[in-house]
Amino acid sequence: MREIASGPPPRRIFEVTTAERALRCGMACRILDAGAKLAMAVETLPSPQLPAAAEGSLHLLFTGWRLTGLGFAVEPDGCFALPLDPAMSTAELRPLVDPTFPSPSPLPFTMADLRPADRIEAAALELCKLAGLLPAALVFGESGRGEPHVAAEADLVSIFAYRDWIARSVQPVVEAEIPLRLAGKARFVAFRPADGGAEQYAILIGSPAAEEAPLCRLHSECLTGDLFGSLRCDCGEQLDGALRRMAEEGSGVLLYLRQEGRGIGLVNKLRAYRLQMEGLDTVDANIHLGFEPDERDFLVAATILERLGLPRIRLLTNNPGKVDALARHGITVTERVAHSFAANRHNRFYLETKARRSGHLIDLAPLRDRRRGQA
């Protein structure tokens, strides 16, 4: 396996990791650019009162996606700031950023109250995402008169570079042989990132490196589907089906990627499920939470394939976005191999949404036939 070139100084990685941890714990972090501001995650605010802040500096930060979900005509990829009255309570803020709470009607602000976020404010939202929290933050200036204790600080450039740093930093830690029920003998290789966070896994069936373009599956972690057999998605069937297919062909590699819920994390995926029970589809549920429809990035998958010496693959997927993403990162996909499974009454709408709104290449005719059969 190939070694990687030296990355950024470990101190800068540690600073961002510590800052996102501070947000998860309800503490403030300082974000540095030409100036500096303090940031806290709305989801974990520790007090019913808003933090003390320099007069006029307290702002609530939204993603454009969240504002789109609230009905505002804004650029979805943008970030926006709303000035706050310090007398507001955290209970009043929560429904503005978390759609699992009833939104106030009418909303207590209009488009005229919003302004585009500056670079530091946008970095605060990125930190919330890195921390696995709802992308909503309080940002305020320091006056030295009673602000919350600052638990960490990180510079803006490091925050925005962090995802790529971590994806490119993965290195193999250990390899072990494990016999699998669906695929027979397999080798598991664990890859650890430089921040010491969640490991990624490559499951090797046979000798994929001996193939010109081995069969490959990029499988995003799904606790509910992979482990508990959830019927709301087809993830468990895709995982099992990929291993069976590789066993039939005699070789292949499955990358088990730690990006639950299209990259928003398990807690936020459960929030999205709540919204789907109220009638939203999977795309709109993510948007209402303030996320992009799909937050995943496949640079880490390309990096692992490169480390394994697999620059050319046949990709087992219905998602052409994966093909495009790997190509951007230097991996050649010689063939897209279809990977569909029959719908059930719980996941039919989910699969139709993937085809209709996310561009997945799923044949909807069998889904319609199955619907008539269940009528």
Q: What's the pLDDT score for residue 253?
A: 98
Angle, vertex CA 131, rays to CA 192 and CA 225, nearest 5? 70
| Distance (Å) of CA 287 to CA 4, 68, 101, 233 | 36, 7, 15, 19
What letter represents residue 114's amino acid?
L
Q: What's the pLDDT score for residue 122?
A: 97
Q: How confident is the model at residue 368 (pLDDT cuts 50, 70, 90)?
A: low
Evaluate whether 10-163 and 171-374 have a shared fold.
no
Question: What percent of the chain has pLDDT above 90?
Answer: 77
Burial class from Cβ neighbours inside 10 Å (0-12, 13-18, 19+) for residue 267 reads: middle
- How much is the mean pLDDT over the chain? 91
Q: What's the pLDDT score for residue 374?
A: 38
Question: Is pLDDT at 216 greater than 80 in this prediction?
Answer: yes
The CATH number assigned to the domain with range 10-163 reads 3.90.870.10
Q: How confident is the model at residue 8 (pLDDT cuts 50, 70, 90)?
A: confident
Model pLDDT for residues 35-45, shown as the tens digit of each residue:
999 999 999 99
Q: What's the pLDDT score for residue 183?
A: 92
40-63 burial, b at 16+ Cβ within 10 Å, e below that, comes to bbbbbbeeeebbebeeebbbbbbb
Q: What's the pLDDT score for residue 75?
A: 96
User: Which CATH class, in words, describes the domain spanning 171-374?
Assistant: alpha beta
Burial class from Cβ neighbours inside 10 Å (0-12, 13-18, 19+) for residue 2 reads: exposed
Q: What's the pLDDT score for residue 162?
A: 96
The pair of three-digit structure tokens given for residue 5, joined into one six-digit string = 């070139």
How far from chain centre, in Å, is Cα 277? 21
In this structure, what DSSP letter does residue 338 have? P
Model pLDDT for residues 219-247, shown as the tens digit of each residue:
999 999 999 999 988 899 999 999 999 99
- How large is the average pLDDT for residues 29-40? 95
Model pLDDT for residues 294-313, shown as the tens digit of each residue:
999 999 999 999 999 999 99
Give kind and range of the element (H or E) at residue 330: none
Domain ranges of the chain: 10-163, 171-374
Coil, strand, or helix at residue 162? helix
Question: Is pLDDT at 269 greater than 80 in this prediction?
Answer: yes
Question: Is pLDDT at 364 greater than 70 in this prediction?
Answer: no
Residues 202 and 317: their CA atoms lie apart, in Å, by 17
Q: What's the pLDDT score for residue 145?
A: 67
Catalytic residues: 294, 296
pTM of structure: 0.91
Q: How confident is the model at residue 345 (pLDDT cuts 50, 70, 90)?
A: confident
- How large is the average pLDDT for residues 94-101? 95
Contacts within 8 Å (CB) and 24+ apart, 97-100: 97/42, 97/43, 97/60, 97/62, 97/66, 97/134, 97/136, 97/290, 98/43, 98/134, 98/136, 98/271, 98/289, 99/69, 99/271, 99/275, 99/288, 99/289, 100/271, 100/274, 100/275
Say which residues have a Cβ less than 8 Å from residue 43's Cβ, sequence separation at least 6: 97, 98, 128, 133, 134, 136
Model pLDDT for residues 153-191, shown as the tens digit of each residue:
999 999 999 999 999 999 999 999 999 999 999 999 999
Q: Is the dihedral of CA 224, 230, 233, 236 positive or negative?
A: positive
Residues 83 and 210: their CA atoms lie apart, in Å, by 59
- How large is the average pLDDT for residues 341-352? 81
